[in-house]
Each structure stands twice: as structure tokens, then as C-alpha cells.
Amino acid sequence: MNPLPALALTLTMTFSAAACAPVVLTPGPTVTDAHIEPDAIVAADGLRLPLRSWLPAGTPNAVVLAVHGFNDYSHAFEGPGQTLAAQGIAVYAYDQRGFGQAPDPGYWAGEAALAEDLATAARLIAARHPDVPLYLLGESMGGALIMLTMTRPDAPPVAGVVLSAPAVWSRSSMNIFERSALMFFSYATPWLTLNGNGLNIRPSDNDAMLRGLSLDPLVIKDTRVDTMHGLCDLMDAAYGAAPKLHVPALVLYGEHDEVVPSEPTYRMMASLPSNPVPQVKAVYANGYHMLLRDLQAKLVLADIAAWIKHPGQPLPSGADQRAGELLQGVSGG
């Protein structure tokens, strides 16, 4: 083989990488005290993060702050919020920076900024409901963000966390081609957008819900490569944070998940600490990635409500027993 084309390609990649870098829209300077409004969390830099809520008729017996997944927004919790509110659990959810109706949709804000927003929102919601236990609920990327946030020195005080299919597909779990392609395009063409067309990934068995997402203009369809790069940074951090997650946790996963692979997920589950409290893992034989919106979502939500109301008791679905079977012999790390 003539080595010149290969050399030319190498030089092109090198100079392209040197010319560009992933775009990260970090927060601006502090201009206000972070505060909560009826329809928004206002961060210290003045950025408004749209807020939704689903509240029970009376005083809630628990409060959940829900964190959406990648390219999604707070509307993801419309169904789960209504269901949990009917169980006496208040639910709040906000659009994260770069997603939904928050400013600069499609651009990555950096994991530190996202974690700071979550910690701020948790403290503001807790102040709105004093003496009521607060839980964090994260779906996919939201679960990864909760793992990172709750292992930071300034983690907000919460009663527990629920991680639904947390995004822990770290770079160590990717093959060399996936890692190399992500690195190259993140620096050479950070503006390039990609979508999942043709991948034949089924995120849920709820086809009606998926059709709704495809028609929702606030759900991002074409993703910047540098935003994917940022997501991978977050997933790396979340995977590494698992052994330090010393808060009560309920971790949920579906055996039909085609978005976050089972291997890193099970290793992450196995690496969770058992002290000071044991963590509860649940695996659903008929579950997909979007467990909270799958056709069997009511089963999963009933488990969440039961775990919040009756900690230490077996889950009604038996999904915790299934997890115990699958995790036998799995080592963390």
C-alpha cells in the first residue's frame, strides 16, 4: 500500500483537530441569587430553566425532583408525574441547559454546570417543601448526572435517588473505533450533527409515545458531535462515581435496553457501595430503555412509589429478585 494517502489523512486529521475544539457553553458570571419561580428555576447567572410540576391534592408525603435524559426535556415526566402525584408524591422537573425550552438548545453546557444546576434546583425545591423527604429521579443522562452530583463535596441533602437506566456507557466500554471516531469528529468537526436514523435501536415498546417524541419540536433529533463528546465525559464520570454513591439508591434497568448496554450497567450496579445503606437494584425482564414510559411503566412506577414509602421492603414487581439473579458473579469496576 502506498503510504502517502495514509500520511495525508493523518496530517489532515491532526491539523483539523488542532483547528477546532468541542464547544462548551459554560455559565456566565453571577448576576442574581438563584431562586425558584412558578414556571422556572433561575440560576445564579440569570439563566431560566423551565419548570413543570405535578402535585397531589393535599400535602405530599414525599417530593421528587426529576431529571430528563439526553435530547429530551421535562415533558418526559408528564405520565410519571401524574402517576406519582396520585400516590401523594409531588414531582418537579426542569429543562436542563441546552435542552427543551432552556436557552441554546443543542449545545453542551459542561457536566460541572449541569451538576451545579441540579444541586441548586434540589435545594430550592427542598426549601419549598420543608420537612418533606426529597428524592432525585433521573432517566438515562439524568441518572448519570445525579450520580455525579451526589458524589461531589457540595451534594445537596436528599433522602435517596432513583436511577432509571442511568447512562453509564463509559469510553472504557466502547471499542477502539467508537472511541477514535468520537474523538476525531469532536475536534475536527464539532458542529457536525448526527441522528439515530438507520441504527434500528428500539428505545421503548410504547410506539404511540415514540411517535409523539418524533413529532415534538422540543425533542432534539440532530445532535452536535461535540455534545455527544460532552455526554461521554458525563458517562465516564458517572461510571467512576458509582463506588462513592453513599446515599440510598434504587437503580432500574430493562433487559431489552438497546441504548445503554447491559455489561457496563451490571458492572456499575455491582460496584455500588453497600454502606451505610444497601442499594436496591431492579431489572425488568420486559423493560426497555424508557422504563418510565414503556407499556409496563405503571409496574415500574409502583416499584418507585413502594421504595419511597416502604424502604427496606421487597419491590412489588419482584424486579429486585431478578437483579440479584443476574448480578451473581458480576464484579464492579
For CA atoms 72, 50, 236, 320, give the dihedral sign.
negative
What's the CA gap between 95 and 236, in Å, rounded? 22
pTM: 0.89
pLDDT(179) > 70: no
The confidence score (pLDDT) of residue 194 equals 54
What's the CA gap between 124 and 184, in Å, rounded? 40
Q: What crossing angle do the helices spanning 78-85 and 297-309 adopt, rounded to 10°?
A: 50
The confidence score (pLDDT) of residue 187 equals 45
For CA atoms 84, 49, 210, 203, give the dihedral sign.
negative
Domain 27-326 fold: Rossmann fold (3.40.50)
pLDDT band, residue 12 (cuts 50/70/90)? very low
Element (H, E) at 53: strand 48-54
Instruction: Centre a 10 Å sphere on the Cβ of residue 19 and count the other Cβ atoms it contains.
Output: 9
The confidence score (pLDDT) of residue 276 equals 81
pLDDT band, residue 330 (cuts 50/70/90)? confident
Reported as a single tens digit per residue, the pLDDT across 209-268 is 999 999 999 999 999 988 988 999 999 999 999 999 999 999 999 999 999 999 999 999
